[in-house]
């Protein structure tokens, strides 16, 4: 059975590209807004079926990627699901800002940071490092 992935991005091209790159390994769902992503994440978590991977853009209107990721981590800390580890989160963003990287990766709330456009080799390396695919 394939692992489950949620791709959160308000840009259609970016969602489609990530889906194509991940579909050999994951059953991919997409969300255009942070609010829709949160609904999917929360519902799946409470059913005991969290996403193994969440790929998230930071710059989105409404509930942006920074706030969405923090909400996910708060949910995981407050409502444990038996036998499930926390979701791996990769930020996939057009921002190459050191501040954005520090706030997500160095603060330990995300496991990876990819600057768009996403390169397949970089994505595969992160997937391997995080135990989501094998060599």
Q: Which two tokens stand for residue 43?
A: 């519902």
DSSP letters spanning 70-88: HHHHHHHHHS--TT-PPPE
Q: Which two tokens stand for residue 81?
A: 């699901």
**Structural domains in the chain plus CATH codes:** 3-129 (3.40.50.2300)
- Cα–Cα dist 108/42, whole Å: 21
What's the pLDDT at 83?
60
Find the angle CA(57)-CA(61)-CA(67) to the nearest 5 degrees.
60
Give mean pLDDT, residues 7-21: 96
What's the pLDDT at 81?
67
Query: pLDDT tens digit string along 88-126?
Result: 999 999 888 777 777 777 677 899 999 998 999 999 999
pTM of the model: 0.92
Give mean pLDDT, residues 75-88: 79
Give mean pLDDT, residues 72-98: 84
70, 110, 22, 75: CA torsion to nearest 10: -30
Q: Which two tokens stand for residue 52?
A: 């193994």
């Amino acid at each position: 059975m394939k692992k489950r992935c949620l791709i959160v991005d308000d840009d259609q091209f970016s969602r489609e590209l990530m889906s194509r790159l991940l579909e050999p390994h994951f059953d991919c769902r997409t969300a255009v807004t942070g609010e829709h992503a949160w609904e999917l994440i929360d519902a799946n978590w409470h059913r005991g079926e969290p996403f193994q991977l969440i790929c998230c853009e930071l710059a989105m209107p409404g509930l942006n990627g920074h706030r969405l990721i923090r909400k996910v981590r708060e949910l995981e800390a407050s409502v444990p699901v038996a036998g499930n580890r926390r979701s791996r989160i990769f930020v996939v963003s057009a921002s190459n800002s050191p501040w954005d990287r520090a706030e997500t990766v160095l603060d330990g709330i995300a496991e990876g940071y990819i600057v768009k456009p996403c390169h397949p080799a970089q994505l595969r390396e992160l997937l391997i490092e995080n135990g989501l695919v094998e060599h």
